[in-house]
Amino acid sequence: MLKLSCNGLDRVHSFAQCGFSARPACVGPRRRRSGIAGFRSPGVKAFPVVAVVSDRDGAVASRVESEAGTLADRLRLGSLTEDGLSYKEKFIVRSYEVGINKTATVETIANLLQEVGCNHAQSVGYSTDGFATTPTMRKLRLIWVTARMHIEIYKYPAWSDVVEIETWCQGEGRVGTRRDFIMKDFATDQVIGRATSKWVMMNQDTRRLQKVSDDVREEVLVYCPREPRLAIPEEDSNCLKKIPKLEDPAQYSKVGLVPRRADLDMNQHVNNVAYIGWVLESMPQEIIDSHELHSITLDYRRECGQHDVVDSLTGVEMIQGDAEAVPELKATNGSAISKEAKQQFLHLLRLSTNGLEINRGRTEWRKKAPR
């Protein structure tokens, strides 16, 4: 993967601020990618594209551009794609984002997905208050909340690796929207992860779910692909499979988990990513030592507040099928992953006080590559 020294990172940010187009010499020799998108030639005046509005046939009808971007816009290594229907951004994995395996943690990857999704919403002119709401939604005090998140990681990036994440959203029936992601190694253009998520509308005051109205749908779909585009093929995938409830007593548990102040997001409830950490808290240590997480699916059922106490339950789920290799699925060392080498677990997060479900989860683990 493309790796940059700390000094190199400073230079990249300096070039991004100054607005150079050609690949900076300090980044290293040109390999498979020609440069970092978003740089431009000295002296060329350019304004960031805020939104590209397309017609029903998918052709670009108009390009909405701002006359001056913020400092964050100029430094951020992300932008809408040419057709305006998706957004790409590059991230450098920081030292504090890697874990015991010396690679980015799944929480780091989930945070990057959340960041690129929020930046996409801002780039098309949605509100910047953390809710990514349209004008109609703000008028009716509606917000988006996550209903399901599914993440697959084929290869974990390491410290100083550069990853590029593309995201786009599209309609999902009458009750919500879907946001998909593809994560690539920027140096090689290799796909190293995919994700998909489902979002539903909730009234900010009553906390009740609400169907997506035609007015909101029209505001959202203008920035969506005309034809369905799925990051993860739905056949033979866990992304849509129902997650059964894990019954108590579970094989493994971690009780009495308490949200920290740092776990709260700008909407005053526990951030989606914090649930991932709670789910992994009850995983058996022998699996953590010998395996790495291949995929995680979470169904969000209830909000969690700062003063709630949470129990994390985990149990083994039997995998149906034979031990044939899964096509196009590679472990970190590049070898094919077989169903025989993977282990699957069910998870349940619940309130300690009354046992009410917060979310259900499923994780799939593959053997770590020998060192």
Catalytic residues: 267, 269, 304
End-to-end Cα, the chain, rounded Å: 18
Give the DSSP letter of residue 354.
Answer: T
- CB burial class (10 A; 0-12, 13-18, 19+) of residue 62? exposed
What tokens were used for 211? 């169907």
Give the DSSP letter of residue 3.
Answer: B
Tell me, rounded to whole angstroms, the distance of Cα 134 from its chain centroid: 21
Nearest-10 crossing angle of helices 106-123, 272-281: 170
Residue 345 in 3-state DSSP? Answer: strand
What DSSP element (H or E) covers 165? strand 162-172
Distance CA 331, CA 69 (A): 41
Q: For tokens 């700008």, name the residue.
A: 266
The DSSP-derived string for 266-332 is TTSSB-HHHHHHHHHHTS-HHHHHHEEEEEEEEEE-S---TT--EEEEEEEEPPPS--PEEEEEE-T
CA torsion, ordered 232, 238, 241, 245, to nearest 10 deg: -140
Distance CA 39, CA 161 (A): 19
8 Å CB contact between 12 and 196: no
Amino acid in the structure at residue 39: F
CA torsion, ordered 41, 47, 51, 56, to nearest 10 deg: -70
